[in-house]
Amino acid sequence: MKKKDSRRKQSAPTSREEGPTLARKSILDVEISGLDEEGYGISCSETHALRIAGGMPGDKVRVGIDHVAQRIAFGHIKKILEVSPVRSKRPPCTKNALCLGCPLISMKYRFQTEWKQNHIALQLRQYRELEGITLHPLLSPLRLIHYRTTARLVIAGKHSEPYIGIFRRSSHDVFDLTDCPIHHPLVNRVVEVVRKGITKLKVPVYNPRSKMGLLRYLVVRVSEHENKAMVVFVTAERSFNEIHHLGKFVRAELPEVEVVAQNVNSSEGNVIMGPTDHFLTPKHHLTERIGNVALMISPRSFFQVNRDGARLIYDKVREWSCLTGRETVLDLYCGIGGIALSLASDAAKVIGIEVVDAAVADAQKNARLNGISNCTFEAGDAGDLLEDIASDGEDVDVVVLNPPRKGCDELVLRRVTALKPGILIYVSCSPQTLARDISLLKILGYTCKELQPVDMFPQTMHVETVARFEQTDKTT
């Protein structure tokens, strides 16, 4: 029996051998094979998929692990062992691996355009029925840095040492931005003057943990046409005195600041601006110009952050609309009216639809500013207003869709195609939702013929795309 027991013990399975354990602060050498949609370098260990901040495809790097989940781990570069050919020798920013606001800024620009082109093509390949669409080469603006004219920045720290910047990824730590190469130079100048003013005037900075303090966010907008700036201080409460003196200080230091406002946001969460603006200056808006269209910009107006990129999009929409002066155009998700007003001179009538009341009010002001009388703007849910247009028997020749990142609701697309416009143009900021909506529109009788990518946000992962559709069956 003892011999038999001994034999059993020898044949019993031993504990399973496992690969090296990956834990926080582990260090390992890996090669970066690509980039994910958020700009992390892609690699792997024996046990986990890896996402490496600041990694470029082709880099061989020594990485430190920051966070480990069940199947994926995140890390940062400790040392580049072998430099990828796509990595720029002199990138505009040396802090990219810490900031991660512009994940592609360390990549040579021609490889950035390749990545964006391939990313759009990859999304289309998720749908077998979308073969045969012409994907044109990416259009790039003249400036690849210092193009961003709007900045929404977090204020943190103490008045003696304020941080003005952006949240680090997956954290509430604020990365302090100084002379950001993406921001317009006037934005950077405003940030430094505000930083100086907070310290000099001892303005209390809001602490989200203790819920004490005043200043929460800084919003800066620049009109390149006027070379003027708007400064909005977002505060936890009204508290007029401190902001009045801070605004006065900023204007004295920087005469280009023409509009100063206080926005009160006492809510918790990630929404930056509250519902009410209190102006500290007689002027309440800036005026920007894109092509022949002047646009008034207020503190909460949606407006493209890259003026040159917006012009490329407006020009492409205008070209593909093929207007002769007799058409009725419907511009859905029209914002403050940029696209609608740029089409008005070549159309008989333009109708803009937008859910945000304040944006519609701005669009109406912009129509008056430009002396355009054949544009009307309506506030409300796109699906409901489309139903009203159909009930009124309105003949629509051209529809322009410019939805938010989530794309269009199926009901909206069904009601748009029910109007049977001869031309349908879709401006998208998300290749994923664009591919999904192209697939649905094909079912609804509209086939995408060509796509024009536009690099609205150089140095980042984002890309805008203009899509042109033709009616599949024009007899119905």
- Catalytic residue IDs: 429
Residues facing residue 267 across a β-bridge: none
What is the enclosing helix (H) or strand (E) of 452?
strand 446-454
User: Are the C-beta atoms of 333 and 404 separated by less than 8 Å?
Assistant: yes
User: Are the C-beta atoms of 163 and 155 separated by less than 8 Å?
Assistant: yes
**Strand 41-44 vs strand 49-53: parallel, antiparallel, or unpaired?**
antiparallel
Q: Is 402 annotated as a binding residue?
A: yes
Closest residue by Cα to residue 30 from 11, 53, 7, 8: 53
Q: Is 304 annotated as a binding residue?
A: yes
What is the enclosing helix (H) or strand (E) of 439?
helix 431-443
Q: DSSP strand E in 241-380: where?
A: 257-264, 276-279, 286-290, 293-297, 328-332, 349-354, 375-379
Looking up tokens 């910047």 gives 165
Q: Is 364 annotated as a binding residue?
A: no
Alpha carbon separation from 118 to 8, 137, 453, 455 (Å, rounded): 59, 10, 11, 13
User: Are the C-beta atoms of 127 and 435 separated by less than 8 Å?
Assistant: yes
Q: Is 37 annotated as a binding residue?
A: no
255 Cβ contact partners less than 8 Å away, ≥ 6 residues apart:
none
User: Are the C-beta atoms of 446 and 417 separated by less than 8 Å?
Assistant: yes
Binding site per annotation, positions: 304, 333, 354, 402
Binding site per annotation, positions for S-adenosyl-L-methionine: 304, 333, 354, 402
